[in-house]
Amino acid sequence: MEFKAKEIAEILGGTVDGNPEAKVTSFARIESGKPGSISFFANPKYEQYVYTSKADIIIVNKAFEPKEPVAATMVRVDDAYAAVAALLDYVTAQKRSYRRYRGCRSRVRWSSKIGSRVYIGDFAYVGNNARIGSCTKVYEHVYVGDDVKIGSHCIIYPGVRIYPGCIIGDNVIIHANAVIGSDGFGFAPLEDGTWKKIEHTGNVIIEDDVEIGANVCVDKSQMGSTVIRKGAKIDNLCQIAHNVEVGPNTVMAAQTGIAGSAKIGEHCIIAGQVGIAGHITIADNTTIGAQSGIMNTIKEEGKTWMGSPAFHLRDYLRSYAIFKRAGK
């Protein structure tokens, strides 16, 4: 990539404060900016680096008033954090080519239907009656089972396994080695102390604009569907059990586990290593702190929960103060 400050300002709808001809060819964190790079400043605690950064261009908020001279050219925008995300999207889109390609060592069943400008890498397998939409990339060593439907403009990274019958919407990204549609963990105890496997006959539905991290497992349902709603973002190494529903635009950090038949509301924020019990419901706009354990249904919307078992953040902080004193 190579952009001038005036071009970046045009892309982001911002203004240039400094040299409009300043050029950059790479991105860098503001504390490690170097000549030829572009950084951004959004968090006040990093302001010191605005004055010492070697980056040629820094994206800042329009309201930012420097306390010292700034050597870099500043591109002023309404929201620096959102602007750099938009710029990264723009750069990625410029690099991404949508051309038809089928690796000679891939295998695509004759009954499948492949859209225009689809990339299928070597050693990928596409099963019977599968559907892959236009401009989707299926990278090397991906397994797409029978009757799977994948929408357009998706990216399926190497090593992903999508079991038969699963449905993937448009603009979905699934990172390496994720498994979509494996059997749920369902076993019935028998009188002799052994366990009988309960067959899972459902599937997984992933709606539009979802991103699934690396090594995530989303289990198919016993009956019906496990559903990841539109716009949800799931980090690496998460476990989504059978019949779970994750609401629209909910985000989930790494190593979170959700037990079977739990229902997560929309616009929830779930931090890392959270455990959520089965057959419960999480209200919309709920925030759950890291390593929390959710044992019961949360009915109040917009609350923050912490601890294991979890309770309201304010009560948790009061209790934690007591815990610390008790340990002395």
Catalytic (active-site) positions:
242
Instruction: Give Rg (Cα) of the chain.
Output: 24
Q: What is the DSSP string of 73-113?
A: EEEEES-HHHHHHHHHHHHHHHH-----EE-TT-EE-TT-E
Buried b / exposed e over 103-137, threshold 16 CB at 10 Å, is beebebeeebebeebbbbbeebbbbebbbbbbbbb
> Which residues is 117 bridged to in the sheet?
none
Preceding peptide of 309 cis, ω within 30° = yes
- Between CA 96 and CA 237 the distance in angstroms is 27
Buried b / exposed e over 15-41, threshold 16 CB at 10 Å, is ebbbeeebebeebbebeebeebbbbbb
